[in-house]
Amino acid sequence: MNNPITIPKSSLDFLVLLKENNNKPWFEANKPEYLKELNHIETFAGALLQELSKTDVLETPSGKKSVYRIYRDIRFAKDKTPFKTFWGGSFTRATIARRGGYYFHLEKGNSFFAGGFWGPNAGDLKRIRNEFAQDPESFRKILHSKSFVNTFGTLQGEQLKTTPKGFDVNHEAIDLLRYKQFLIIKRFTDEEVLSPIFLKQALETCKNMRPFFDYMSEVLSTDVNGASVL
């Protein structure tokens, strides 16, 4: 990656101003600035997508398509401010055989890359739990690997306070069985986000998600006997 694409400081600073002036008149008056900063984020996302596509199959067609709209859906929200105060986006892995997706969130003092399963449906959750119950060590090996610990620390996500239905409270994998979400998150400082090596770090972070994604993809595309269900 020669002449790496970077995130300029102005892209984070714009969000700070937007947070202080979260209203339509201000936004319309500053729309040229918004479009300029949006272009920086889309360019960065496009460069990351290009690099990531060398090792994964993604259905997101472009950096531009990966970046979320700045406009909030306020129809059912208590917070009626019209604009998001972060740059967010995602890359979707292609076909049902590849589970998991890459998400990025860029905001002054709160930037991170994340991946995983925010709201697995009942069928997927049951299948994952059955796999943990049968063979927890394969997943633990991923969670305890050097690259996982150094990048993400620990598995995150909402957990049951009780025992999931159909499982023993004394099961050796009860800590894993209680998870309702399976999230991995890598946080970045503002200094890191604005660094010339941030694209490289973001790519490395996404690559380090792959063992986790590959494990979940295999589990969710097979039954407990390992036979394909696709």
Q: Residue holding tokens 């399976």?
A: 182
> pLDDT in tens for each of the 230 residues of the chain?
456 799 999 999 999 999 999 999 999 999 999 999 999 999 999 999 999 999 999 999 999 999 999 999 878 878 889 999 999 999 999 888 899 899 999 999 999 999 999 889 999 999 999 999 999 999 999 999 999 999 999 999 999 999 999 999 999 999 999 999 999 999 999 999 999 999 999 999 999 999 999 999 999 988 877 778 76
For the chain, domain boundaries:
9-220
Helix (H) and strand (E) counts in the chain: 11, 4
Q: Which pLDDT score, from 0 to 100, does residue 2 have? A: 58
Q: Which pLDDT score, from 0 to 100, does residue 202 have? A: 98
What is the distance between the alpha carbons of residues 199 and 7, in angstroms, rounded to a whole number? 9
DSSP string, 43-112: HHHHHHHHHHTTTS-B----HHHHBPPSB---TT-S----B-SSEEEEEEBSSTTS--EEEEEE-TT-EE
Contacts of 84 (CB under 8 A, 6+ apart): 68, 69, 70, 71, 72
What is the distance between the alpha carbons of residues 98 and 215, in angstroms, rounded to a whole number? 10
Q: Residue holding tokens 């600073």?
A: 13
